[in-house]
Amino acid sequence: MEKQERFARGAGILLPIFSLPSKFGIGAFDSAAYNFVDFLKMSGQKYWQILPLNPTGFADSPYQSSCAFAGNPYFLDISKILPHDTAHHLETEFSEHIDYFELFQNRAKILRQNFSGIPQEIKNEYSTFCKENEFWLEDYSLFMAIKERNNYKPWLEWEYEDLKRHDEEAIKEFLSENRDEIEFWKYVQYLFFSQWHSLKSYANENGITVIGDLPIYVSLDSSDVWANRQLFLLNEEGYPLEVAGVPPDSFSNDGQLWGNPIYDWNEMKKDGYMWWKRRLQLSSVLYDAVRIDHFIGFVNYYSIPYGAHDAKNGEWKRGPGKHLIDSWRDIGNIKIIAEDLGNVTDEVGELMKDAGFPGMKILQFAFTSGYDNRHLPHNFEENSVIYGGTHDNQTLLGYFSVCDNRELEFACDYFNIENKSPAAISEEIIRAGLESRADIAIFSLQDYLGLDDSARINTPSVLEGNWRWRVSEKLLTQELSDKIRERCVKYGR
């Protein structure tokens, strides 16, 4: 693969779409999103990092989606779709936490009630969209229509065995009898992509590079697995032979049991990893750059027997490595950031270096060992992306409020500060990240706001209460914007 050019030096803010202060119970592609782009520009930011745009699945997670290619219908600006009176009636008082159950119960129902076919004025554009995305859109819309008919049960629990097996004759019969329902799901995706492209274009016009997020694995209960069973390690009934996760570490005694099915890399290799190439190609349309989650899994992945209750008894296996990365040579113009956290072998490092992919440095991890810790600012290489913490971590204030006293002492000694308050250390962490040699410095909006763990996005291995936090528009002040911009100017960001 041709070596990737480095990113321009700059700063960015991590804020998921769902965390925006929109009017309809969850962040969306509405005026609040455009206002946030304006906030980023005023704050001297060059990057906006988001989380996966895919529909949420098990435990409301965007990393357990019904489709690795589809967009989340909850993000639609429904004021542009529904009649004014209907949309106005759906507006809610701002809540800091998303009610996913309410969205699941009502959003698709409301959209369907107002769907009466494809509007004449966009039929040509809609037709082009369907043709360009046929390789995933046909299976996804069919999958969702069948899933709804089965009360949204996982596909392995569907009533009819022939539909579970993706039997060709059964599929044809269902298609002929449910064309309107299938058309509805396609139309929702057309609306999603249209609205997202408008927002992304606005961001680009204002000098903001959008960094997306690509989960390495897909959900078992997805159109990807249902329609492409040969690409995954499954038994004859469709259940996984083994599942993904990570082994026990200092953060978890049981490890993390993600439960995603493992790819059959040998099968994928036969057509040159076409499924992955198509996924990266779509990402090049959706984003300017993409962070690939758990990048190390392409070299070595942790395999856990299906049915295990924890991740203790898994084993490391070889991934496709360079063969897969080389297959991306003709992918569209998109830059890649590799999440190189966890079991980072020399082979992972060499693969990233040869491809030119920057890795990640996490300042929350910097004070757990000595001065050779790769997450300490003086050890950063320029071709890297520095974070205070990721969406899976505590906020800076939350972390330094409860961390080991030795870490606290180390951080204060390293930064030569006498004030051991978590707030003071958090401020110093942000300053050090912006000052560092790393090409990109990204901090969560919560850390710029100095919020505690009540604003945390996700706690790994905890099934409830995640992916819910939203920011109040009242917090996005001119004072905050000026403060962030001043720091970025000072450190050449």
* Pair 448, 430: CB distance under 8 Å: yes
CA distances from 162 to 139, 158, 173 (A): 15, 10, 11
pLDDT at 1: 65
Any idea how long the chain is? 493
Residue 335 confidence (pLDDT) = 95
Give residue-wise pLDDT tens across range 151-178: 999 999 999 999 999 999 999 999 999 9
| Residues ≥6 apart with Cβ < 8 Å to 243 | 257, 258, 259, 260, 261, 262, 303, 304, 305, 306, 308
pLDDT digits (tens, 9 = 90+) for 51-87: 999 999 999 999 999 999 999 999 999 999 999 888 9
Given CA atoms 73, 78, 80, 86 in this order, what sign does their dihedral have?
Answer: positive
Q: Whole-angstrom Cα distance, residue 245 to residue 247?
A: 7
Q: Whole-angstrom Cα distance, residue 226 to residue 240?
A: 12
Angle at CA 280, nearest 5°, toward 276 and 282?
A: 115
Burial class (CB in 10 A: 0-12, 13-18, 19+), 469: buried
Average pLDDT over every residue of 91-103? 94
Quickly list DSSP for 410-470.
HHHHHHT-S---HHHHHHHHHHHHHHSS-SEEEEEHHHHHT--GGG----TT--SS-S-B-
By percentage, how much of the chain surpasses pLDDT 70?
100
pLDDT at 420 over 90: no
**Do residues 362 and 390 make contact, with C-beta atoms less than 8 angstroms apart?**
yes
Q: Which positions are annotated as active-site residues? A: 293, 339, 392
Note the pLDDT tens digit of each residue in 289-332: 999 999 999 999 999 999 999 999 999 999 999 999 999 988 87
Q: Cα separation of 87 and 378, whole Å?
A: 52
Look at residue 62 in the predicted model and tell me its pLDDT: 95
pTM value? Answer: 0.96
Is the predicted pLDDT of residue 251 greater than 80, yes or no? no
Query: In this structure, how many other beta carbons lie within 10 angstroms of the beta carbon of residue 333?
Result: 7
